[in-house]
């Protein structure tokens, strides 16, 4: 859309003279799905503004005129999501984009909803709508996508939320600065969100505002890749790795390959999030509630119950400090490095590394190296990694292999003492087995 025409629900014809053909070309060439940016605001310069006013689709002042302000856009008004007709009107605009080939929406904003001197269509208390607005907004957009693509295929990329919003994933942390402090704040907010019942969480890799120096950028890329969802995004500069040098591009490829290989594990965690509400990224106290040291840790986290991730938030010249709870921990990158916890670790971390540790008793299913994408057949060419199984005192454990289709489980693998691995149900191709400890 043009610069001062939020939200027109159209592509800028100067840049996209044939958006439908362009979207089709991108999808065929790269086999990707397309997400486009929207928000619930209608600028006075938007070509649909008069239509929205005439239909009574905007939040009104007590005198019946549309509530407007000049933040972000000239004469910006807000769609009244309590009005069923306004929701239908908005959904019809989105349907036209879906018909072009769009697959999902980044539902930006949804906060800063006015509560003084305004009235809503359904008579709701404006102070109550202030928080509820974001859930209503994401609800009808998410359900539009679900009706279009089916159960399990709908997704939004939402900024604002409150209680109940976890039903409409995914959420990210909004606009942050490109500093060490902001990166740590992004993790703190993420852990607060997931501890509140949200299964998935993300953040703008590299920070949204400003220009991150190469060191901060690379540290943030490592942190961002070891998140449930990873997105490179910035306000005034592209966050693509080649803009930050050959080293940044090389390191990112290593971390991406690791995430791609971990997708059978991450996808299984996604099923848990969907069915049981368990978050993928977890504050340390969720996994170690009896260890009081973990109750205050906000600069490291668990991915599921098996992987501990400790992103680096300090310059190369400083030592990085993090905590390993009780038990044996095996370094994900270098399995010969095993540390007995509880223990604080203080070390210099090279720019091409991020501390990732595997908890004792864990069984990780990894896809093939160099697979090059997150969506592939998780049942083939699997590497089964077993970590300190005897130390965990386990006799046998069954691990589910996801099909990659909804919450369907394709197979089950049993690991037992004596380094025994067997497929107990379904069909799965095991390319390699590795036992550590």
353 is catalytic: no
**At residue 201, what are phi and psi to the nearest 5 degrees?**
-155, 150
Residues 252 and 350 in one domain: no
- What CATH number did the domain enclosing 291 receive? 2.60.40.1180
**Residue 174 placed within a domain:** yes
CB neighbour burial string for 372-389, b if at least 16 within 10 angstroms, e if fewer: eebebbbbebbbbbbbbb
Residues 189 and 324 in one domain: no
Q: Which is the catalytic residue, given 5, 108, 204, 360?
A: 108
- Nearest 5 degrees, angle CA 97-CA 151-CA 131? 70
**Residue 184 placed within a domain:** yes
Residues 256 and 397 in one domain: no
**Residue 265 placed within a domain:** yes
Domain count, the chain: 3
Residues 272 and 289 in one domain: no
Please give the residue range of the domain that contains residue 155: 19-276
How far apart CA 339 and CA 322 sit, in angstroms, is 13
Question: Which pLDDT value is given to residue 391?
Answer: 80
Residues 230 and 247 in one domain: yes
User: Which residues, 6+ apart, have CB-to-CB distance to 11 below 8 Å?
Assistant: 1, 19
How far apart CA 198 and CA 207 sit, in angstroms, is 22
User: Which residues, 6+ apart, have CB-to-CB distance to 401 below 8 Å?
Assistant: 264, 268, 365, 378, 379, 382, 409, 410, 411, 412, 413, 426, 428
Whether residue 45 contacts residue 75, with contact meaning beta carbons closer than 8 Å, is answered with yes
147 is catalytic: no
Report how far apart, in Å, the C-alpha atoms of 298 and of each of 74, 154, 161, 188, 192 are: 40, 31, 21, 6, 9
**Residue 4 placed within a domain:** no
Instruction: Give the DSSP per-residue string, 286-348.
Output: HH-TT-GGGGG--S-EEETTTEEE----S-TTS-EEEEEEEEEEEESS-TT-EEEEEEEEEE-
Residues 176 and 81 in one domain: yes
User: Which residues, 6+ apart, have CB-to-CB distance to 101 below 8 Å?
Assistant: 20, 23, 24, 27, 34
Question: Which pLDDT value is given to residue 219?
Answer: 98
Question: Which pLDDT value is given to residue 237?
Answer: 80
**Residue 320 placed within a domain:** yes
Residues 199 and 304 in one domain: no
Residues 257 and 296 in one domain: no
**Residue 323 placed within a domain:** yes
- Which of 336, 359, 382 is the last residue in one of the domains? 359
3-class secondary structure, 384:
strand
Whether residue 311 contacts residue 223, with contact meaning beta carbons closer than 8 Å, is answered with yes
Residues 347 and 392 in one domain: no
Residues 272 and 288 in one domain: no
Residues 49 and 94 in one domain: yes
Residues 140 and 182 in one domain: yes
108 is catalytic: yes
**Residue 250 placed within a domain:** yes
Question: Which pLDDT value is given to residue 130?
Answer: 94
- Which of 359, 392, 407 is the last residue in one of the domains? 359
Question: Which pLDDT value is given to residue 392?
Answer: 81
Question: Which pLDDT value is given to residue 215?
Answer: 97
**Residue 14 placed within a domain:** no
- Which of 359, 390, 418 is the last residue in one of the domains? 359
Digit-by-digit pLDDT tens for the chain (437 residues) are: 888 999 999 999 999 999 999 999 999 999 999 999 999 999 999 999 999 999 999 999 999 999 999 998 999 999 999 999 999 999 999 999 999 999 999 999 999 999 999 999 999 999 999 999 999 999 999 999 999 999 889 999 999 999 999 999 999 999 999 999 999 999 999 999 999 999 999 999 999 999 999 999 999 999 999 999 999 999 878 899 999 999 999 999 999 999 999 999 999 999 999 999 999 999 999 999 999 999 999 999 999 999 999 999 999 999 999 999 999 999 999 999 999 999 999 999 999 999 999 999 999 999 999 999 999 999 999 999 999 998 888 889 999 999 999 999 999 999 998 899 999 999 999 999 999 98
Question: Which pLDDT value is given to residue 157?
Answer: 96
- What CATH number did the domain enclosing 32 receive? 3.20.20.80
Structure tokens at 135: 């859930």
Whether residue 222 contacts residue 312, with contact meaning beta carbons closer than 8 Å, is answered with yes
Give CA torsion, residues 345, 201, 263, 149, to 10 deg: 180
């Amino acid at each position: 859309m043009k610069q001062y025409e939020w939200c027109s629900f159209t592509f800028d014809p100067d840049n996209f003279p044939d958006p439908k053909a362009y979207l089709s070309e991108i999808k065929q060439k790269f086999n990707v799905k397309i997400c486009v940016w929207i928000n619930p605001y209608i600028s006075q310069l938007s070509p649909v503004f008069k239509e929205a006013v005439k239909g009574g689709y905007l939040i009104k002042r007590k005198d019946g005129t549309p509530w407007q302000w000049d933040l972000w856009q000239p004469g910006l008004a807000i769609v009244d999501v309590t009005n069923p007709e306004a929701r239908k009107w908005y959904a019809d605009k989105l349907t036209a984009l879906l018909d072009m080939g769009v697959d999902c929406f980044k539902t930006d904003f949804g906060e800063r909803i006015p509560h003084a001197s305004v009235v809503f269509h359904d008579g709701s208390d404006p102070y109550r709508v202030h928080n509820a607005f974001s859930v209503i907004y994401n609800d009808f957009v998410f359900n539009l996508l679900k009706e279009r693509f089916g159960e399990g295929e709908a997704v939004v990329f939402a900024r604002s939320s409150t209680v109940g919003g976890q039903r409409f994933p995914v959420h990210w942390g909004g606009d942050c600065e490109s500093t060490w402090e902001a990166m740590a704040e992004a993790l703190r907010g993420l852990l607060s969100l997931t501890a509140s019942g949200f299964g998935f969480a993300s953040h703008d890799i590299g920070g949204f505002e400003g220009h991150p120096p190469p060191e901060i950028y690379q540290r943030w890329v490592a942190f961002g890749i070891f998140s449930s969802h990873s997105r490179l995004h910035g306000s005034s500069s592209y966050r693509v790795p080649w803009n930050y040098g050959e080293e940044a591009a090389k390191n990112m490829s290593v971390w991406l390959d690791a995430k791609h290989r971990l997708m059978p594990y991450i996808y299984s965690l996604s099923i848990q999030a969907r069915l049981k509400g368990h978050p993928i990224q977890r504050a340390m106290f969720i996994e170690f509630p009896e260890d009081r040291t973990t109750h205050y840790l906000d600069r490291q986290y668990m991915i599921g119950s098996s992987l501990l991730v400790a992103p680096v938030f300090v310059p190369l010249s400083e030592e990085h400090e993090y905590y390993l709870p009780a038990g044996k921990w095996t370094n994900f990158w270098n399995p010969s490095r095993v540390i007995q916890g509880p223990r604080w670790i203080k070390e210099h971390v090279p720019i091409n590394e991020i501390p990732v540790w595997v908890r004792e008793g864990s069984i990780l299913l990894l896809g093939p190296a160099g697979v090059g994408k997150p969506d592939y057949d998780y049942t083939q060419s699997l590497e089964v990694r077993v970590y300190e199984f005897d130390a965990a005192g386990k006799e046998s454990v069954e691990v589910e292999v996801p099909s990659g289709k909804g919450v369907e489980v394709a197979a089950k693998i049993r690991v037992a003492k004596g380094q025994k691995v067997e497929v107990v149900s379904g069909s799965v191709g095991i390319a390699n087995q590795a036992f550590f400890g």
